[in-house]
Structure 1
Amino acid sequence: MTGNADAPQVAAAFASAADSLDTLAEAIAGLRSSLNTDEHLDSMLQRLAETAVKALPDADAVSVTVLSTDGPRTAASTADYLSEIDDAQHSADRGPCVDAARTVSSVRAKVGDHVDEWPEFTDEARKQGVRSYLSVPITMGEGNTELLGAFNVYGFASTEFKAFDEELMKLFTAGAGAAIADSRRWRQAHEHIEQLHCAMESRAEIEQAKGVLIAVHGIDAEEAFSRLVQQSQNTNVKLHEVARMLIDSVRHRRL
């Protein structure tokens, strides 16, 4: 009798597990699609947020907080009202998305559970009808020690998000971390290329200026370079700018 009575519960448990696995499979497929493209960082994070809100049954909206030198900012969101909730946290410098972004700990609770810690967030969340939330940190680097931001999930239901939801969101934070890391590497590479380009232009100008001094004064290359350096030091002007001014003066004389 006991076995028969438990049968519906067992069947329900298997059905729930199957649904969770289906959700996980869909989320992974969505992640692969979102990351298999070359686009701006915020656009990539927006695609991840839109995929995440579909993957979690109890999620009504998702935003992505990114930490920068200017402070936290909302890089992506699936609903306009999230900017009000996130801005309240950013302005007060506290709240679940800020705390998750600055620690390596997820925050999962119902609105009102931390009213004393995050009054600004609690007031704005209640105003927008949000009743539950989940914030998972975005990290990168060895041991996931470098904090980049947080994935924030908001729900209108009064029930707290589940541990499975938290684990599922970690897939998306991994994807977001990879996107941010790639964006940083691209920016650093771009800056390095620009620096090399400027260095090459400066070198060309210095070589031209040396050629002018050699032709005019009948000196060797070493002496020409020494004179340029001395002029740079005397006038407190960068060497390549001294070279450029010399070249420009010669061109004007020819005109």
Structure 2
Amino acid sequence: MEDLWRALSRLQLAERELGDVLGQVTRLAAEHVPGAESTSITLVRGDTATTAAHHGEMSLAADELQYDEGYGPCLDAGRAGVVLRIDDTHTETRWPTYVARVVEVGVRSSLSMPLPYQGTTIGALNNYSTKPSAFASEESAEAAREVAEAVAVAVANADAHALLGEHARNMELAMQSRAVIEQAKGVLMAQRHVDADAAFDLLREASQRYNRKLRDIAAGIVDSVVGPPRR
């Protein structure tokens, strides 16, 4: 476990794409979760589940079989927030159609660990093996839990970064809108010989009359005065 903690502590989250981080995490899981031969990360957004990263083709094939079926240990773990383990696909009865098919891609046992996120779950870390009972030890569960928490942190970091970027874009648009509205007010003040408040009232009345955004009305007024850009 110390090697796993050390490896997770070295994960670089800043200035990296989420897919790159999760790809590295799946490799760490395959190396440090006892029994894991192939690993993947399922993210559930609304009604849609996707494999965000995987290490080894067996995990991707097993995930996609579950998406086809609409159920399975990784989907159920991600949706319900419970740990789900299959000790032997030859005798498993909870997902009969899925286990009958997943045997064909080599899966004999698996461990799906939910991803904790702000009091809920957003998916699962999936660990697969070609051997039966590969994840029966508490050590496997503990290691998978540690990796799942790292995944949740990476997703939270990516979401926060995206939200910050969206706020910055919205602020830039707001500033641009304010600038063009102030320009249009200046035009109306000069043309109509009114003060700033009256000019704004004229803009607002035009916006309501023509059912157009205030910024679009303002831009039209400014363009009519400035004219098209020269080439």
**Once the 2 structures are TM-superposed, how far is the Cα of residue 159 of structure 1 from its aligned partner?**
2.3
Is the partner of 1:126 in helix, strand or coil? Answer: helix
Counterparts of residues 39-188 of structure 1 (less than 5 Å): 39-69=16-46, 71-109=48-86, 110-115=88-93, 117-141=94-118, 145-161=119-135, 162-188=137-163
Whole-angstrom distance in 1 between the partners of 2:46 and 2:113? 20
The counterpart of 1:212, out of the listed 187, 206, 209, is: 187
Q: Is this contact kept in 1: 2:58–2:106, CA < 8 A?
A: no
Return the letter of the residue paired with 2:89: V
Taking only the aligned residue pairs, the percentage that are identical comes to: 30
Distance 1:244 1:230 in 2: 15
- Structure 1 residues 70 and 100: CA distance shift in structure 2, 3 A: closer
Q: CA deviation at 1:34?
A: 2.2
TM-score by length of 1: 0.84
User: Structure 1 residue 70: deviation in Å?
Assistant: 5.5
The 1:171–1:250 alpha-carbon spacing in structure 2 relative to 1, beyond 3 Å, is: same
Which is greater in Rg?
1
Measured in 2, the distance between the counterparts of 1:101 and 1:69 equals 11
1:47 partner amino acid: Q
Q: 1:251 aligns with which of 198, 203, 226?
A: 226
TM-score between the two structures when normalised by the length of structure 2? 0.92
CA distance in 2, matches of 1:156, 1:81: 9
In 1, distance between residues paired with 2:36 and 2:58?
14
* Secondary structure at 2:82 match in 1: coil
The separation in 2 between residues aligned to 1:204 and 1:48, in whole angstroms, is 46
Give, in angstroms, the shift of residue 90 of structure 1: 1.7
For the pair 1:233 / 2:181, whether they are aligned, the reply is no
Aligned equivalents of 1:182, 1:61: Cα separation in 2:
25
Q: 1:12 — aligned with what?
A: none
Aligned residues of 2:65 and 2:101 also touching (Cα < 8 A): yes
Q: Which amino acid aligns with 1:187?
A: A
C-alpha deviation, 1:203, in angstroms: 0.4
CA contact (8 A) 2:116 2:149 kept: yes
Unmatched tracts of structure 1, length 5 or more? 1-23
Structure with the larger RCO, 1 or 2 (CA within 8 Å, 6+ apart):
2
- Quickly say closer, same or farther: Cα 1:221–1:155, change in 2 above 3 A: same
Offset at 1:160?
4.1
**Cα offset for 1:83?**
2.2
- Cα distance in 1 between the residues matched to 2:5 and 2:41: 18
Residue 253 of structure 1 deviates from its aligned partner by 8.2
Write the distance in 1 (CA, Å) between the matches of 2:222 and 2:90: 70
Cα distance per residue 1:154-196 (max 9 Å; x no partner):
0011224122201111110110010011111111111111111
The structure with more helix, counted as a fraction of residues: 1
Distance 1:212 1:245 in 2: 11
Change (3 A) 1:50 1:213: same
Instruction: Give 3-state SS (helix, strand or coil) of 1:172's partner.
Output: helix
